[in-house]
Amino acid sequence: MNNTQKLMAAIVAVFAVGFLMVGGNKEQTNEQREAAGMIRGLAHMQTMANKKCPVAVKKYTGTQVYYATDTDTDKQTYVSLTWDASKTDDKYSFEKAECTLHLTVGGISKLVIDGKTFIEKEVKY
């Protein structure tokens, strides 16, 4: 075998091993698929909350918020973000803002700033 043939054989071998690895990794159990789906759902809810809640807080207070001081979730239906001015060095025009996003509502279901409710939607289960 000359060097060209050896090189071609090596390339074919690399592709064959790659196809075998990819094919072997595609086999997932139903539990693995369910777990992956739950993780994607939670990530989607968290992303939606991180986009919508700061915009809503700014709309009602005029203050731009960035990172929530507390996050609460049941990992399936809701994410709740809290900004507490006493826990940060940032200067907010409010003491505490709580924003809850429910997946069934498709957006913010409750927004409470300094004890005053600005948004409250019925959550259907």
Element containing residue 98 per DSSP (H, E): strand 96-102
What is residue 122's predicted lDDT score, i.e. its pLDDT? Answer: 84
The total of structural domains in the chain comes to: 1
Considering the domain boundaries, does residue 69 fall inside one?
yes
pLDDT at 33: 83
Radius of gyration of the chain (CA): 24
| CB neighbours of residue 107 within 10 Å | 14
Within a domain: residue 109?
Answer: yes
Block mean pLDDT (10 aa), the chain, length 125:
75 79 72 87 91 95 91 93 86 91 90 95 79
Is 32 part of a structural domain of the chain?
A: yes
**Does 65 reside within a domain?**
yes
* Domain region containing 49: 3-120
The pLDDT assigned to 54 comes to: 95
Answer whether residue 125 is part of any domain: no
Look at residue 89 and tell me if it is in a domain. yes
Q: Is 40 part of a structural domain of the chain?
A: yes
Distance between CA atoms of residues 60 and 4, nearest Å:
70
Is residue 7 situated within a structural domain? yes
Q: What is the pLDDT of residue 71?
A: 94
What pLDDT is attached to residue 5? 77
Alpha helical stretches, state H, 1-125: 3-25, 30-61
Assessment of whether the complete model's pTM goes beyond 0.75: no
